[in-house]
């Protein structure tokens, strides 16, 4: 659907718009943002960037959404498997292998990622990674206890 500047200034009741968009700040400024651009071209890639490039962020150790490569690959594999078994009209976009081809994902694909994968597969991957980290920490603590006990018995 094509929207004009007037459509943003005067709420369109047919689209169930209630108020004027706050993005019209000045007469010379106009930015027609719709869900395709807000969700698809903006939010989706940013979420994937936080998930996939946390090691490059300054506070990557504090990033609760960062996923190790194998978990990002699990997300891509699950998405591609789902794509093969899904009805052709079920989505507007397509699931792309985002781990190896993130530059080929278009806005409608990002929207499908946010709607379908983020609340399911991505959350599950975060939980699996958290379980793995917790298990590794417990194993490390257990090993440290054994080492400390051995040192005490030597004295």
22 or 116, greater pLDDT: 116
Query: Taking Cα atoms as reference points, which of 41, 59, 63 lies closest to residue 51?
Result: 63
- In whole angstroms, give the CA distance from residue 117 to residue 81: 12
**How far is residue 6 CA from its own chain's centroid?**
33
Structure tokens at 45: 């890639």
Structure tokens at 99: 């781990």
The number of domains in the chain is 1
Q: Examine residue 77 and state whether it is found in any structural domain, yes or no.
A: yes
Q: Examine residue 76 and state whether it is found in any structural domain, yes or no.
A: yes
pLDDT in tens, 65-110: 888 889 999 998 988 888 887 777 777 677 878 788 777 888 888 8
What average pLDDT does range 4-31 have in this prediction? Answer: 56
> What is the pTM for the complete model shown?
0.64
Question: Domain limits at 113?
Answer: 69-154
Structure tokens at 106: 């278009």
Residue 96 has a pLDDT of 79
| Helix, strand, coil fractions of the chain, as percent rounded to 5 | 65, 0, 35
Q: Examine residue 130 and state whether it is found in any structural domain, yes or no.
A: yes
- In whole angstroms, give the CA distance from residue 90 to residue 72: 24
Answer whether residue 7 shows pLDDT above 70: no
**How far is residue 65 CA from its own chain's centroid?**
9
- In whole angstroms, give the CA distance from residue 118 to residue 50: 13
136 or 149, greater pLDDT: 136
pLDDT in tens, 98-148: 788 777 888 888 888 888 888 999 999 999 999 998 999 999 998 888 888
pLDDT tier, 19 (very low <50, low <70, confident <90, very high otherwise): low
Q: Examine residue 62 and state whether it is found in any structural domain, yes or no.
A: no
Residue 13 has a pLDDT of 61
Q: Examine residue 134 and state whether it is found in any structural domain, yes or no.
A: yes
Q: Examine residue 132 and state whether it is found in any structural domain, yes or no.
A: yes
Give Cα separations from 74 to 2, 10, 80 (angstroms).
38, 46, 10
The runs of H, that is alpha helices, within 11-122 are 35, 44-52, 69-85, 107-112
**How far is residue 117 CA from its own chain's centroid?**
8
């Amino acid at each position: 659907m094509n929207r004009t500047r007037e459509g943003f200034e005067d709420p369109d009741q047919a689209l169930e718009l209630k108020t004027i968009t706050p993005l019209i700040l000045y007469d010379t400024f106009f930015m027609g943002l719709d869900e395709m651009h807000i969700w698809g071209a903006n939010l989706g890639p940013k979420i994937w960037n936080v998930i996939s490039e946390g090691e490059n962020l300054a506070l990557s150790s504090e990033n609760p959404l960062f996923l190790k490569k194998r978990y990002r690959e699990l997300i891509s594999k699950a998405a591609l498997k789902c794509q093969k078994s899904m009805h052709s009209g079920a989505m507007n976009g397509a699931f792309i292998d985002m781990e190896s081809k993130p530059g080929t994902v278009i806005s409608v694909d990002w929207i499908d990622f946010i709607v379908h994968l983020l609340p399911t597969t991505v959350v599950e991957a975060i939980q699996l990674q958290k379980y793995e980290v917790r298990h590794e920490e417990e194993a490390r603590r257990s090993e440290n206890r054994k080492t400390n006990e051995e040192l005490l018995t030597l004295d």
